[in-house]
Each structure stands twice: as C-alpha cells, then as structure tokens.
Structure 1
Amino acid sequence: MSIGRSNLTFIITVDGLPRWVMRRPPLGHSGGSAHNVAREGRIMAALGESTVPVPHIVDIVDDPEVLDVPFVFMDHCPGFAINEPADWARIPTGPGPDDKRACAFGMIDTLAAIHRVDVDEVGLGDLRRPGGLIERQLRRWLGQVEDIALRDIPIIREVHDALLETIPDPARSPVGIAHGDYKPNNMIFAPEGTVNAVVDWELTAIGEVLTDLGYFIAMLTVPEQYTSIWVPTPELGFPTSDELIDRYQEVSGHEVHDVGYYEAFAMWKLACIREGVYTRLLTGKMGDLDLDPETAGVGVEDLARQALTILEKA
C-alpha cells in the first residue's frame, strides 16, 4: 500500500513483479468528489488520448459483488516517484546538475501540457462547474473542514476570509484542467528523469490553471514534516521558483500573475487536507498508516499561518 493520505493504492504483483495497480477510497469514506475514484479513473482514461502521460486504465469497477466500494484497475507504470533524497539521487547528473534541472523543467513542461488539453476534445467538458475554481474550492474545503472537524481552528476561517476578499480576477487566468495536487511524488519518472506518468488525479477540476503552478511552487517551501514528500532544492540541482515560473510562462504561452496568491491558497488547502488526515487518524480510518494524530494535528495551524504570511506579502 502507498504512503498516501487519501485514496488507497495497492500494487498487485505476479511472480514477484508489479503488474497492476488498484485505487480505492479511504476506509470509512462516505462520499464526495475528493475521493471519487471512478471520476479519477475516468479523467486518466480520457487523458490517455492526449499528450499527457498517464497510466493505462484497464477498468473502472463499481460492483458491490466485487468490492464494497468503486475502484480503478490500471496497468503498473514502471519508474519511481520522488519521495526522498535517494530518489532524486537516482537521476543522473553527468558532469554537472543539468540532467536534474532538465528533470525539474520536464515537470513544468508536463504541467503546461495538462493545461493545454482541450477538455471538450477529450470528453471532460461536463466537469465544468459554474463560477471560478478558487471561489468554489474555498467554499468546498471550508465546508469539508467544518463538516468533519472534531475541534475548532479559527485560523482556518480567518485565512479563508482573507483569500476570499482578494481573489484574482478569474478572467485573467487561463481555464483548463487543473490537476489539484501537482508535485514530484505524484509523478512517475524514467531512470533518465523524464516523466513517465502523472498520477493522483482525485482533486482535479476545470478552472484557473495557475492554481497548479502556485501549488507546485508552494510545495518547494512547505515544511517537510507537514507533507508526505521531500522536495529537492536548488543546492541539489533543482531550479529556483523564479526559474520554474519563467519556464512555465515560456512553454505554456500563458501570462503568469498572482503566483503569491495561488501559493497562499495552496498552503491553506494543505491545512484543510491535513485536518481531514488528523480526523481520520483519530477515528481509525487511515488503514495501517503509522502516523501520530497529534503530530498531524499541529501542522494544520502552522500551514494556515504560513498561508496568511504568504498572502500578506503577495
């Protein structure tokens, strides 16, 4: 099973070798699009017809006689995710850090490819929702926290209100497929560092695509203990935030603006997600994940404060 905090991922082996992957909702899940694996599978299946690298979907099963929850069955994609320094070290450097920089810029190029997808052409146009993505997600994530939280965290509402008051004009942002959780450990890399597949599409929506860029940049600064990943730094051959933003603007053709706002929004969203993790840990609904609930709980307020700091500087 994966170290993920949401949908559960299982690798099925044949003769000791990985052959297929199964994704199912977390234990105790009672609904909502965030853990809708059938929706996630449909998105990956649709993108299989585009230039975006995704795993091959074998089947999307929603049959209680097979399993009590829907699940997605897909071919195993060879390669590795970047979860720790040892993973980053697997990418060759040659005489300098150029290959690692190429790997990082490849992540940005893949993000731009996602944002270029014509949602109607791939059959995902019905995922559009009224209003801007930020406004919808502010409402959604605050509602989810208030619905499930076992404690009161006023700063979650404080940051929500500050973000709501300063939403960038949606008309300035290009609209398309926003992955929603775009970071190095949600990609599978070939040995040379190219992106073999983008995974974990459960938070995907149609809306302002610059939310993805802000999220990716935010993941470079979020405290490591508050995420499930380790992120490489410029000292280890990773480009700076400014270089990544410049690369995105170059390959996407989109004018980049308000990155600080989108970064702050990403931090706040991470705080909301972490509160869900904390609640599921307390109620025993995170499978066999070995994580202390109180450690997870502390991160919620810290992330929300960091979001507020970023927003004040934006």
Structure 2
Amino acid sequence: MTQTPAGFDAQSIGRWIEQRFGIDDFDVEVMSIGRSNLTFTITVDGSPRWVLRRPPLGHEGGSAHNVAREGRIMAALSDSAVPVPNVLEIVDDAEVLDVPFVFMDHCPGFAINTAEDWARIPDGPGPDDKRSCAFGMIDTLAAIHAVDIDEVGLADLRRPGGLIERQLRRWLGQVEQIAMRETPMIHEVHDVLLKSMPDPAGSPVGIAHGDFKPNNLIFSDSGSVNAVVDWELTAVGEVLTDLGYFIAMLTVPEEYTSIWVPTVEDGFPATDELIARYQEVSGHEVHDVGYYSAFAMWKLACIREGVYTRLATGKMGDLDLDPEVAGAGVEELAQQALTLLEQA
C-alpha cells in the first residue's frame, strides 16, 4: 500500500477490510470532489473498489457532518426510484476509526466538475445527449421529492417548523460559532430572508437533498444519472428549496463554487425549460424560485465561510487548497442573494 492520506488510519481500517472482505492489499486516495466530509477511494488491483466517507478532521459543525445519518439515508433509498451508491456498512467503532464512517461500493461513472467532463456527454439531438442529460437531472430531483419518507423508513427526519426557517437559524448559528472573520452581509441577508420567507404551508414537502448540483451526481457515458451523492445536508421540508439551489448553482460564478457548471451555450436548457420540466414531472406548482435561489446563494456563502475556517485550521485532511481562495466570495454571494430578493 502507498502512503495513505490524513484521516485514513491505514492500519486499523486495513485490518477491518481484511476481516470483512479478505483483502489486505489496496491503495487509497482523496477524491477530488467534496469540501466537507472527507471521501476516499479505495483501489484494489488498479481499479476503484470502494469508497469510504468520514467527517472532517477535528469534527465540528453539528449534524451537517453526520456521515452515519448520510449513510442511513442512502441505504433507505436503495429500493426507491432514486439512484444512490450501494452502502455496504455504516461503521461506528472506535477500534476501527475514531469517528463513524460509511463504507460503500464504488459507483462507476463520473461527476461533472469541468467543461471536459460535460464534453463526455454526446451532443444532440438524440435520446442520449446533453439536453437529455440535463432533463435527467431534473427528473432525478423530482424522484427524490416523490419519495414517501414513511415508506422508506425516514419519518424521523421530520422536524417542527418549516425547512427555510430552521436552516436560517441553523446556518447563521454555525457561522457565528466557527467564523474567524467578520461577516456583516451574511447577517443582513439572513434578516431579509427571514422577513420575506414564503408561507411553508403553500409549498410541497418531502426529502430535500440540500446540495443538488451536477458535481454531486455520477453520470454514465450516455449522460444518465448513475447515483446521487453527498447527502449530508438532506432534510425534510419545502422541496422547492432544491430547485432554487440547482438553478442558483447554474448562475453563480465558478470562482465562488469551485466547480464548473454548463450553460445554455454549452447545450444546457434554459432556466424556464428546467422549471417547466420539473413542474411537469413532479406535479408540483413552482413558485418563489427567486426567493429559493437567493436562499441558496446565502447558504452557499455560509458554507464557504465554514470551508474557509476548516481549511485555515487544518481540518480538511490533505486537500491542498488555499483558504483565502476557497473562502473567497462570501460577501459577494450574500450580495447576489440580496439582489435576487430585491428583484423577486
């Protein structure tokens, strides 16, 4: 085995893998995606075999990093219409690792992180082309929102009150708890979002993924969705928050998201087409998209502030990222959210 990255105890995890799967020779590398929970690819005989996901080093920040919860959600959705990785085991044993982790099969395919990734999807027109791929993302989002949480055993994810109200309180609280910098715009936009919040009673409720975007999906070479990953921000509440987030991520500058997203010029449908597709497939009446997109940008600003803090304090494993670069754009994202709210 080659030198292992921080956060992966090769000796104890290796012993567990050997006992569980009978394999004692493997390599480990940090996956290139993800800025929160740490995700490792385990390769056997030169091919990716498994994925291990664990909390960040120096775990802080509440349930957002509860990987056991994330693993349980994926396992619960395994028999639903939502494509998810195959969870093999959720391990909470200090003798194996000092924090819980999720151990799953490696899902074949690729995420869309760059223009080169998007170029792997065939050009249209046709059933397996870029527009079909984009609409497939929307269909997958609608499938998540159609899940009966009681039927799949996730009823305990329900919480009192609306999702927006809970998350406004939660994300502001986390920023105030861990932030190392002054963040006046985050506080200002929080107050506007709270004051102009849509009535949650008028919104469809279900599982909201919380971070649904192209680089949190695994695609086949034809562009179909093989799996939805990164369920750490999942909650039960107003599902239109996911649609607003997806649309917002298509417009936020790349330097503030650390990912590339396709545009209309790249063969991606226009926003109104995406909304129409979602409304058709889900059966939900879409409203207040501007507000939900503004909320998404504000939440992204909060997330980037948290990423900055964890990088600056060395709690992101071996990810070689400049904290100032990774944490840039917090005030700008909050300002964009405020502009959307003023236009809504």
Q: Indicate the residue corresponding to 1:303 in structure 2.
A: 333
Q: How does 1:70-81 map to 2 (within 5 A)?
A: 70-81=100-111
Q: Secondary structure at the match of 1:298?
A: coil
Matched with 1:87 is 117
Residue 119 of structure 1: aligned partner: 149
CA distance in 2, matches of 1:5, 1:168: 30
The answer (yes or no) to whether the contact 2:207–2:236 under 8 Å persists in 1 is: yes
Shift of 1:31: 5.5
Mapped to 2, the partners of 1:68 and 1:96 lie a distance apart of 50
Summarize the alignment of residues 1-314 of structure 1 with structure 2, pairs less than 5 Å apart: 1-2=30-31, 3-30=33-60, 32-94=62-124, 99-314=129-344
Deviations 1:109-159 (A, max 9, x none): 000000000000000000000000000000000000000011221111000
Number of residue pairs the alignment of both structures matches: 314
TM-score normalised over the length of structure 1: 0.98
Note the residue ranges of structure 1 that are not aligned, 5 or more in a row.
Answer: none
Kindly indicate whether the alpha-carbon contact (under 8 Å) linking 2:304 and 2:328 is maintained by their aligned counterparts in 1.
Answer: no
The one-character-per-residue Cα deviations of 1:229-285 (angstroms, maximum 9, x if unpaired) are: 100011111001111001000000000000000000000000000000111111111
- What's the CA shift for 1:298? 3.0
Q: Distance in 1 between matches of 2:128 and 2:88?
A: 36
Bigger Rg, which one: 2
Q: CA deviation at 1:292?
A: 1.7
Q: Deviations over 1:204-248 (max 9, x none)?
A: 000000000000000011110111310001111100111100100
Q: For 1:150 and 1:200, how far apart are their aligned partners in 2?
A: 26
Distance 1:97 1:122, change over 3 A: closer
Q: Is the CA contact 2:37–2:55 (under 8 Å) kept in the aligned structure 1? A: yes
Query: Equivalent residue of 1:20, what SS?
Result: strand
Q: Tell me which residue corresponds to 2:14.
A: none
Aligned residues of 1:20 and 1:75 also touching (Cα < 8 A): yes
User: For each residue in 1:268-310, what CA deviation from the matched residue of structure 2 results, as whole angstroms up to 9, or x when unmatched?
Assistant: 0000000001111111111222222222333111111111111
Judged with a 3 Å threshold, the aligned counterparts in structure 2 of structure 1 residues 225 and 97 are, in CA distance, closer, same or farther, namely farther
RMSD: 1.2
The superposition leaves residues 8-56 of structure 1 with CA deviations (integer Å, 9 ceiling, x where unpaired) of: 1101111000011000001111351100000000000000021100001
Gaps of 5+ in 2: 1-29
Rounded Cα–Cα distance in structure 1 between residues aligned with 2:199 and 2:342: 18
> Partner letter of residue 281 of structure 1?
L
CA contact 1:60–1:71 (8 Å) conserved in 2:
yes
**SS of residue in 2 equivalent to 1:229:** coil
Q: Secondary structure at the match of 1:6?
A: coil
**Where in structure 1 do 4 or more consecutive aligned residues deviate above 3 Å?**
94-98
Q: Which deviates further from its counterpart, 277-286 or 118-127?
A: 277-286
Whole-Å Cα distance in 2 between the matches of residues 59 and 298 of structure 1? 36
Pair 1:96–1:113, CA change in 2 (3 A): closer
TM-score between both structures, scaled by the size of structure 2: 0.89
- Do the aligned residues in 1 keep the contact of 2:74 with 2:231 (CA within 8 Å)? yes
Evaluate the alpha carbon distance shift between residue 98 and residue 73 of structure 1 in structure 2; reply closer, same or farther with a 3 A threshold. Answer: closer
Counterparts of 2:193 and 2:43 in 1: how far apart (Å)?
45
